Amino acid sequence: MKRVLTYGTYDLLHWGHVHLLKRARELGDYLIVGLSDDHFNKVKHKESYNPYEARKLVLESIRFVDLVIPETCWEQKKDDVIKYNVDVFVIGDDWQGEFDFLKDYCEVIYLQRTDGISTSQIKNDLKI
């Protein structure tokens, strides 16, 4: 079984998120999503409209997602790769090069973001 791991906040879920999750799942047999918890979002200076439990519920309902785990700090990625026997780490290409240190443990792939949609854009359009 080929395991794939990705991370994100996944607030105000949109088709760009779904597209990324679908492409990530196509890289393996089992997709794990590390979901930034509310405390970690504050550390990253991100404010989610929806709380962690609501975002987790939505992600768990997506057919491409097999497991949702909490992301609580920057440093956990290497430990998660080892703990969950991850074969492929996937993240958006806006993070290009930032997670190359994981190449010692698994394949690292930076996927192109979906043009024309982002949570920041939605929040701006809605004035949130």
Question: Among all residues, which ones are annotated catalytic?
Answer: 44, 46
User: 3-class SS at 88?
Assistant: strand
Q: What is the DSSP string of 8-71?
A: E---S--HHHHHHHHHHHTTSSEEEEEEEPHHHHHHTT---SS-HHHHHHHHHTSTT--EEEEE
Residues with Cβ within 8 Å of residue 24, at least 6 apart in sequence:
4, 6, 31, 64, 90, 111
Nearest CA to 16 among 122, 110, 91, 118? 118
